[in-house]
Structure 1
Amino acid sequence: MIVACWNAAWHSSRSWQGKAISQRILASGAEIVCIPECQGELLEGEWHVARSETNYGYPIVPGRSKVTLWSRNGWRDIERTASRGMPGGRFVAATTATSLGAVRVIGVCVPWYAAHVSTGRRDRRPWEDHIAYLKALAPPSASSLPLIMLGDFNQAVPNRRAPAEAVSLLETALADLTVHTSGVVSGLSRPSVCHIASTRPFVAAKTIGIAAETERGPLSDHDGLIVEFDLRVPA
């Protein structure tokens, strides 16, 4: 099972950047895709979509979603709020069928450190919304289904730049998962702030990055991530 994640920086399928991102994702053969900052129907073909709530605190633009999940199969049990106190419009969870069985998928877009500081509502201090989001993003509850959590966490893993509280809260949220995109992923020259993590019995057979930089210019301000999952065989 191949899973992809790429923050598209609001590029639509009509832009050359959006077309290139779409082509690279489709070429990976992904069954599940998370696209933070998605504008419209970025992926072509027979996909099923689960989106976060429209209102994420900034002016609403038709067709924009802070988090969009795409699956080759249908979604069920869709949730758009993790818990009270989480900044809105940045979370979606749903269940889908895959080649490795049913999977619960959580898509996130953690606010960047300056969310609503000098833009938007301008009523926040640096890291305030980021920390509030992570406080509400509790460790996933026990489930009979394996879990994949992915999206834009706006922190590298490991992280030496963010405030200690933000680092600790992210570690807590990911405590029961394996982060397959920590450090510098193969194919990239820098740590990613987007991530793909999972619970058992999933293991990463391969993890690769797709650099956003091209000869024509950057496709996004984030690099793409691809993880090929397999099942851990009991000893």
Structure 2
Amino acid sequence: MPMIIACWNSERHEPQAWQWQELKRRLLEANPNVICCPECWLDYFDSSWHPIFSEHLSGQRNSQNERKIGLWSRNPWTNVDTVGSSEIPPGRFVRGTTEVEGTEIEVIGLCIPYAMSNVRVGRGGRTKWEEHRLYLQSLGELIRPSLSRPTIVLGDFNQRIPRTKWGAKQMAAMLEAALAEYRVWTEALLPGLEEPVVCHIAGSSHFALERSWGETREHLGKPLSDHDGVFAEIGIKP
């Protein structure tokens, strides 16, 4: 039976905010098996969902209930890893195994720093693309071993795939190398959207894509987030 995977960066909206309430309605309307929310809060969904999160990002102006990346499944998680590697910028990685439609799958959530991360705000002292590059340098080693089993990699990659004029050639090449052998199901322009996305869903060769689509961030002339939502309906290959 097909499974539906959803990813939407909520731009840190609090659980009671009207923007999140509409985002949540749209996410749940797709009837997903797994949801990924970069820039999320711990209590975004009710107790029928099982969540795992990245470590709290200390030293930032955010609540103790905020996380850079969260994953929710209809079933419990095992083999949870909330760090990934000491080599990547902290608080931006989470991994776990969950059962979806009778199949155990590994899900890896990423929140790759954007180009200006900690350059002028936050901790400061970084140069443009520095934290993004540091993350990508170790990403391939983190996710490559998971190719031997059904694995989904998703989250805010902070790059369009393929690269557009906005992107940096070196960063695009590093991301492509890190994702080698994973298929990105959200590349180029998705049905339902007017521009390519920077949040993505990718998977190992165990999966076959049935369809992928996007949901616009706009609602009644106002933005729900600074990101569009992305969805993929996939199945396990025979």
Which TM-score applies when normalising by structure 1? 0.95
Distance 1:83 1:39 in 2: 23
CA contact (8 A) 2:147 2:204 kept: no
Q: Aligned with 1:132: secondary structure?
A: helix
Residue identity over aligned pairs, in percent, reads 37
Q: Aligned with 1:156: secondary structure?
A: coil
1:88 aligns with 2:90: yes
Q: Which runs of 5+ in 2 are unaligned?
A: none
Q: Show the counterpart of 1:195.
A: 200
Match of 1:123 among 122, 125, 129: 125
Distance 1:214 1:94 in 2: 33
Match of 1:42 among 41, 44, 54: 44
By how many angstroms is 1:143 displaced? 5.2
Q: Which runs of 5+ in 1 are unaligned?
A: none
Match of 1:148 among 152, 164, 183: 152
CA contact (8 A) 1:82 1:136 kept: no
CA contact (8 A) 1:97 1:103 kept: yes
Distance 1:172 1:57 in 2: 31
CA deviations 1:103-147 (Å, max 9, x no partner) are 000000000000001101111000000000111111421554211
Equivalent pairs, count? 233
By how many angstroms is 1:168 displaced? 1.2
> For residues 45-124 of structure 1, what are the structure 2 equivalents within 5 Å?
45-55=47-57, 58-124=60-126
User: Which runs of at least 4 in structure 1 moved beyond 6 Å after TM superposition?
Assistant: none
Specify whether residues 175 and 122 from structure 1 end up closer, same or farther in structure 2 by C-alpha distance, changes over 3 A only.
same
| RMSD, aligned CA | 1.4
Query: Higher helix share goes to which structure?
Result: 2
CA contact (8 A) 1:84 1:136 kept: no
1:13 aligns with 2:18: no
Specify whether residues 188 and 125 from structure 1 end up closer, same or farther in structure 2 by C-alpha distance, changes over 3 A only.
same
CA contact (8 A) 1:34 1:70 kept: yes
Q: Show the counterpart of 2:185.
A: 180
CA contact (8 A) 1:48 1:75 kept: yes
By how many angstroms is 1:57 displaced? 5.0
Which TM-score applies when normalising by structure 2? 0.94
